[in-house]
């Protein structure tokens, strides 16, 4: 279970870093792409930035769900 805990934690960390650094790398290397206006008042960069925030919410939610159901039940068993 310890291995499963770290596997889930590390995959989610890698997912968060991929999403975030994808965004940062675009800021670093392709500013014109992010500056492209896709709707009046909305650039691609703003949309992606907001999506990174949403991704952070979704990933924390996935982790809490997983840990509260699977991990805690197992740890509860260990304590007894």
Partner 1 sequence: MIGTGEPNLVAISFFLGFIALSLAITVWAARKTQTASQFYTAGGSVTAWQNGLALAGDFMSAASFLGIAGLVATSGFDGLIYSVGWLVGWPVVMFLIAEPLRNLGRYTFADVVAARLRQKPVRMASAVGSLAVIAFYLIAQMVGAGNLIRLLFGLPYEAAVVIVGGVMLAYVLFGGMTATTWVQIVKAVLLLAGATLLALLVLARFGFNPLNLFAEAARMYGDGVLSPGRLVTDPVDAISLGLALMLGTAGLPHILMRFYTVPDARTARTSVGYATAAIGFFYLLTFILGFGAMVIIGRPAITQVDAGGNMAAPLLAAAVGGTGFFGFISAVAFATILAVVAGLALSGAATLSHDLWVNVVRHGEANSREELLVARVATVALALLAIALGILFKGQNVAYMVGLAFAIAASANFPVLVLSIFWSRLTTAGAVASTFVGTFSALLFIYLSPAIQIDVLKHETAYLTLRNPGVVTIPLAFVVAIVVSLLWPAPEEARKFHALEHRLHTGQ
- Minimum CB–partner distance for residue 16 and partner 1 (Å): 5
78 lies in the site for partner 1, by CB under 8 A: yes
d(CA 24, CA 71): 33
2 binds partner 1, rule: CB under 8 A: yes
Q: How many CB atoms lie within 10 A of CB 8?
A: 16
List beta partners, residue 37: 43
- As a whole number of angstroms, the distance between CA 46 and CA 24 comes to 12
52 class by beta-carbon count within 10 Å (0-12 exposed, 13-18 middle, 19+ buried): middle
State the binding string over 53-72 for partner 1 (x if CB under 8 A, else -): x--xx-xxx-xx--xx---x
Q: Residues interacting with partner 1, by CB under 8 A?
A: 1-2, 5-6, 9-10, 12-13, 16-17, 19-21, 23-25, 27-29, 31-32, 34-37, 39-43, 45-46, 49-50, 52-53, 56-57, 59-61, 63-64, 67-68, 72, 75, 78-79
């Amino acid at each position: 279970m310890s291995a499963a805990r770290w596997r889930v934690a590390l995959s989610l960390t890698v997912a968060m870093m991929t999403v975030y650094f994808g965004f940062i790398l675009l800021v670093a290397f392709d500013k014109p792409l992010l500056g492209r206006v896709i709707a009046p008042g909305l650039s691609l960069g703003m949309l992606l930035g907001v999506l990174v925030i949403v991704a952070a919410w979704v990933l924390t939610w996935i982790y809490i769900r997983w840990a509260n159901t699977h991990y805690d039940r197992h740890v509860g068993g260990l304590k007894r």
